[in-house]
Each structure stands twice: as structure tokens, then as C-alpha cells.
Chain A
Amino acid sequence: MIRFIVRRLLQLIPTLFGLSILLFIWLRRLPGGPETAILGERGTAEMRAQIRANLGLDEPILVQYGRFMQRMLKLDLGTSISTKREVTTEFLERFPGTVELTVTAMIIAIGVGIPLGYLAARKRGSLLDSLSVGGSLIGICVPVFFLAYVLKAVFSENLHLFPSSGRQDPTIGATRITNFFVLDGLMTREWDAALDALWHLILPGIALASIPLAIIVRITRASVLEVLSEDYVRTAQSKGLTERTIRSRHILRNAMLPIVTVIGLLTGGLLSGAVLTETVFAFSGIGAFLYEAISNRDYPVLMGFIMIIAIFYVLVNLLVDFSYSLIDPRVRVR
């Protein structure tokens, strides 16, 4: 098992190396540069050249890349051009927000999706089945940002049930430890702060959950239907086992295999949705910051953030493969 993980982590290195080269070349090709973002259209040619020289952008690209790699190996991601702060600091401040949002969305999607998909399969052809199949089809087709706006308009601006923006009410004056606001609240026993942060997560969480939820319902339904027709379910029934044992041990355990794969893929892909949701709810995560970084040509931020995100993506997939082998003994043999 440990060997498997080590091997996978080693395989990660060439992928990341390749990705960094690709990214580096790609970013430098973007027209304009940080100097345009800083000076706007006004600056003189000398001022531009000065800024580029200060940032080390006048050197050959290979030298620049070499310096980047050197720093990267020391886990130093450099300084943001636009905020003048360490990229690592920026990341640690913003990433927790996105993680909280993503985790909330996945909890909603999994917590609702798997039971709903299971019930739809068990009661195939029923009203519940048609509703969840139809609902999940529509869920895939609704643009995330539009859903976010509708939720915001209805539940916060009209019904005033949820806050419309931000991660936490600043007047609470919560203590910061990890920048995971809910976690901070729990750690410092500032219950109102934790609850408030949680409250801010609900609407963007639902908006972000819509597509994963729809996909999880569909895959669960399909997977359970397939398992239901398997011989071993009939064997379990012929043994007179209780409904609960058959459901958890014989149906869901087998049906989980494709579901886990899809959950892994979805978690990796959630960041795109997060950018949109964070924009609508003025939620300070990495989404909006990254978007600005692209328009500002903030190279260090872009390189650092995207590299870390890619690592996370690969790690999530590793986790999926790992849990896959936990569920299915046949995978373990290799």
C-alpha cells in the first residue's frame, strides 16, 4: 500500500515539471505584461522597461525559469506584483475560503445525491425517480452563475434568510487562526462566529453543488440499478437478510466504486464553478483573486496558485484511487 502511494507520488514529479514549463511559456506569451496593468496605457517606454527590469522580466526566459525553479524548490513562490505580498501568504489567506466553499458544496452534493440516487433506483419508474432524473438533467443545464444570482435574489435579497455576500459578518470580530472561518470559530469556541461563517456558506454552497449533485444523482442511480441486477444481490435476498444489510453491505458497497471515481473528478473540477460563485457572492476565495491575477499579469501569483491547485487535483485523484482499492479487494492485488 505504501509502495503504491510512493510510486504515485513519484509519478507526480514529471507531470508537475512538465506543467510548470508549459505554464511558464504560456504565461509569458500573454500580450501585455504586469507593467501595463500597473501603468495603464499612459506609461512611457522607459518606465515600462524600468518596471520589467525590476521584476527581472528583461532576462532570457530560460534564466527566468531557472530562478523560478530555484525558488520553488525552497518552497518560495515569490511576491505578488499587484499586492506586493508573499504569494504563499496570499494563498494561505484565500485558499481556506475556497476549500470551505468546495467542501460545503461536496457535502451537499454527496449527502443529498447518493440517498436520492439510491431511492430513485430502488423505486424505478416512480414519481420520485422521474423527478430526480428530470431534476438532475435540468441541474446540469443551468449556468452556475445564473443559479447563484437567482438564489441570492430570492433567498437573501427578498426573503432575507441568508447573507448575500462575504464569508463572515466583520462586526463579529472573530479571531483568526487557520483562516478556515468555521474551524476557527470552533477552535476558539466563538460559536456565533462559526455559525455565521457557516451561514455565509449555504447559498454559494448550494449554487456550487448544483452540477455535482445532478451528476452524483445520475451516477448513483445508474450504478445502483446495475448492482440491483447482479446475482449476488439475489443471493443476499435468498439468505433472508434484512433490507438494511442488503442495502449497505451488498448494494451500496458495490455501487460506490463508480460513484467514488466521479466524486474525485468532480472535486477537481469544482474550482471553475468556485470562481463564478465567489464572484457572485463577493466571497473572498482564490477564484476572484486568480481571475484578477490573469488580467493583471501577476506572474508569480498565477504560477504559484496554479501549480498548487494542480498538485491538489492530483492528490485528490490519488485519494480516489486509494479509496477505490479500499472498497474493492480485486484492485488491491496489483
Chain B
Amino acid sequence: MPLLDVKDLSVTFSRRGQRTVRAVDGVSFAVEAGEVVGLVGESGCGKSVTSLALMGLLPKQKGVTIGGSAMFGDTDLLQTDERSMRDIRGRDVAMIFQDPLSSLNPVVPIGIQVTEVLTRHRGLTGEAARKEAVELLNRVGIPDPSRRLKEYPHQLSGGMRQRALIAMAVACAPKLLIADEPTTALDVTIQAQILELLRELVRESGTALIMITHDLGVVAGMCDKVNVLYAGRVIESARRKPLFADPRHPYTNGLLGSVPRLDSGKGERLHAIRGSVRDVLPWPDGCAFAPRCDQRVEACVGEPPALVEDIHRHAYRCVNPESRTAEVPS
């Protein structure tokens, strides 16, 4: 049994006088213990909403409807009440956010922000909590941890802040870690360091990781399995190697093609995807990617394409997929 089994997750936002938005539309994926799973897509594809739904952090108000199930052991994260979710959050499932500066409380010292998790879930207080916090900061590679504990977020560098956030997330050795674009707001050199740190932590502790990103480079370096999302649905899902070697969905192919490669010829142009995420066809009317797709055919519009799986457990949602050799058909 997988550690986390998400089945048919959907999230809709409806507001009075406005069109209902299906941010997540029947997403299913599984995470095995110790595995790194990527959720990939452009902003607005529903990947962040997915993570917030799993954490139970979507606003609880009229107009927000969550459907499907997310079995975490014996508990369905989507059906658990707020009180029990509080016990799970930070202890069993923890999260790392995108912007480390805005994700840290500016008026509370780093130390308290770390120890408060230890106090809440592990009952550590006073000197014991402080010692453990020093240990944690040490583990995530923050030099001179006892001094840093007294400092405020604005006194730390971007990379240090993200390390501090990671320390808070791994403080209780959670079984599952969700990282929502953990490196997007950082400098390139720092990005690599943070990814390396995450990889290390995952390897040492056996924590499973859901890596949410738009950056295929991150995926290539870290993930065991990859789910590509577009307009709220999974459009391609495979293990890392087959996905990179042999992308079937034109969107995935486009994402790969828009990354400059060292081995491509000098005169060769980058293959950019046309249009923007806003040019979306509603799924019931056909493939949401159709308005931007180079390989659009008649069958793309009318009814939504189904997710089909080939013999290599490589699933894709496309009626006119890229050929196996990944060459554009003439």
C-alpha cells in the first residue's frame, strides 16, 4: 500500500456572480514511502492547490468544494476534521513554501519559530527545545546555529531562510514532505544547494517528498516519478527516465523543448509553446491544451481525451501523441 494515495482529487472555487473554476479536476497519483514524486506544470495548472488541499489549508468557506480522497495510511486527509489535521500537520505531513522571506514571521525570532513545532508535537520545552533546535539548524547546514536562533528573518540570507524553513518542516521527522516550488525565489547557486539538502534529507530519513515545480531541471535531478499537470488534470504520468526520454504529450514535449540544451546546434531555435496558460479550452469541450497545440487534430475538440496507459505504465492524455521516437511527424 502506498504512503499516500490520491484518488480523483478535485477542487472547485465558485463565487457569486462569477464562473465556477475547477482548479483541480480529478487528479490521481500515489506516493510510496521514501519516494520523490514530482508535480510539474506552469503556474495556474493546479499544482499548488493540490498541495494545499492535501494539507487541509484551503480556505474553509462556501464556494470551495473538495472532492475525491487522499488516503494517508488509514486516514483520508480530505475528510479529517480540523482538530485532527492539526495533529497531522507538522508531525506526519510537513510543507515547505516558495518564498522563504514571506513564509517566515518577520517579528518572531527564528528560534521560536523552530521550537514552537517541537513544543507542539514533541512536547519539548525550554533548554531541551533549544538544544534540539540548534541540532536541527545544524543539520540543515546553518552555520553558528545558537546565534541564528536569536535572529529575525530579515537578518538571514535567502538561502538561510529557506534552510530554516526546511528545519521547521523536518523537525518532527514527517513521513511526507511537500515542497511547493522551494527554489523558485532563490538565486541559481543557492537553488542547487537547497535541492542537494533536500535530496540528502530524503535519503537519510526515508521521508517521502512531493516536489512541486515548474522547472524540469529540478525534476530531472530529484524525482522518481513525475506527474505533469495542465489546467487541473494530469496529462502525463511516468517514471522519470521514460518521461524525459520519450515524452508522449505535446505539452510535456513543449516543456522539454523550451529548455535550452548544450548539445543542440547553435542555430537551432528554442521550441516555445505558443500562447499562455490563459488560452484554455474547458476540459468538457475537449483537450484543454488544444488552443496552443501544434499537433491539434479534429478529434482534440468535442470531448475530453482519456488518460491512457501503455505497457510501460507510462500514462498520457492525448489523442495524437508524440511518436515513440519523439520526432515531429511530417
A and B touch in the complex (CB under 8 A): yes
A232-268 to B contact mask, C-beta < 8 Å, 1/0: 1011111111100100011001100000000000000
Please determine whether A241 and B103 come into contact, CB atoms closer than 8 angstroms.
no
B131 CB-CB contact with A under 8 Å? no
Query: A residues near B, CB below 8 A?
Result: 125, 230-232, 234-242, 245, 249-250, 253-254, 327-330, 333
A328 touches B89 (CB 8 A): no
Determine if B91 and A236 form an interchain contact, defined as CB atoms under 8 angstroms apart.
Answer: no
For A241, list chain B residues within 8 Å (CB): 86, 90, 116-117, 120
Question: Closest CB of chain B to A48's CB: distance in Å?
Answer: 63
Number of chain B interface residues as a range: 20 to 34
B94 within 8 A of A: yes
Q: A237-B89, A240-B87 are in contact. Are A231 and B97 (CB under 8 A)?
A: yes
Report whether B95 and A238 are in contact in the complex, using a CB–CB cutoff of 8 Å.
yes
B107 CB–A CB distance under 8 Å: yes
Which of A236, A240, A249, A330 is packed against the most chain B CB atoms within 10 Å? A240
Contact: B105 with A240, CB < 8 Å? no
Q: Give the shortest distance, in Å, between A258 (CB) and chain B (any CB).
A: 13
- Are A237 and B120 closer than 8 Å at their CB atoms? no
Is residue B55 within 8 Å, beta carbon to beta carbon, of the partner chain?
yes
**How far is A242 from B82 in the complex, measured between Cα atoms in Å?**
11
- Given the complex of chains A and B, what is the CA–CA distance between A240 and B121 in angstroms? 8
Are A245 and B102 in contact (CB-based, < 8 A)? Answer: no
What residues of A have a CB within 8 angstroms of the CB of B57 in the complex?
234, 237-238
- Note all chain B residues with C-beta closer than 8 A to A245: 116, 120
7 A-B residue pairs with CB within 8 Å = A231-B97, A238-B94, A239-B120, A240-B121, A242-B86, A328-B107, A330-B106
B residues near A237, Cβ cutoff 8 Å? 55, 57, 89
CB-contact partner of A330 in B89, B102, B121, B154, under 8 A: B154
B108 interface contact, C-beta 8 A: yes
Q: Determine whether B216 belongs to the interface, using a CB cutoff of 8 Å to chain A.
A: no
Within 8 A of A (CB), among B142-195: 152, 154, 165, 168
Most buried by B among A232, A234, A250, A254: A232
Main secondary structure of the interface of A (DSSP, over half): helix
Q: CB-CB < 8 A to A330: which residues of B?
A: 106-107, 152, 154
With A242-B120, A329-B154 as contacts: A235 and B88 at CB distance below 8 Å? no
Chain B residue nearest to A238 (CB atoms) is B95
Roughly how many angstroms separate A125 CA and B109 CA in the complex, as a whole number?
Answer: 34
A328 to B106, CA, bound (A): 8
Is B104 interfacial (CB-CB < 8 Å)?
yes
Query: Measured between alpha carbons, how far is A245 from B121 in the docked complex, in Å?
Result: 13
Chain B residues with Cβ below 8 Å from A234 are 57, 97, 103
Q: Evaluate contact between A240 and B103: CB separation under 8 angstroms.
A: no
- B77-88 to A contact mask, C-beta < 8 Å, 1/0: 000000001111
A235 touches B97 (CB 8 A): yes
Q: Are A329 and B117 in contact (CB under 8 A)?
A: no
* Interchain CA distance A189-B30 in the complex, whole Å: 72
* CB closest residue in chain A, given B87: A240
Interface of chain B residues 40 through 68 with chain A (CB within 8 A): 55, 57, 61
Could you say which residues of chain A place their CB within 8 Å of the CB of B97?
A: 231, 234-235, 238
Q: Are B89 and A236 in contact (CB under 8 A)?
A: no
Instruction: Name A327's contact: one of B85, B107, B120 (CB within 8 Å).
Output: B107
- Given the interface pairs A234-B97, A240-B88, A240-B91, the reply to whether A249 lies near B116 with Cβ below 8 Å is yes
- Residue B99 is within 8 A (CB to CB) of chain A in the complex: yes
- The one of A238, A242, A249, A333 in contact with B105, judged by C-beta atoms closer than 8 angstroms, is A249
User: Residues of A contacting B152 with CB < 8 Å?
Assistant: 329-330
- Contact A239:B105 (CB < 8 A) given known A329-B154, A330-B154: no
CB distance from A334 to the nearest CB of B (A): 12
CA distance A242 to B88 in the complex (A): 12
B116: chain A residues at CB < 8 Å are: 239, 241, 245, 249
Give the distance to chain B from A296, nearest Cβ to Cβ, in Å: 51
Enumerate chain A residues within 8 angstroms of B99, measured Cβ to Cβ.
231
Residues of B within 8 A of A236 (CB): 105
Question: Which of B87, B109, B165 is A235 in contact with, Cβ under 8 Å?
Answer: B165
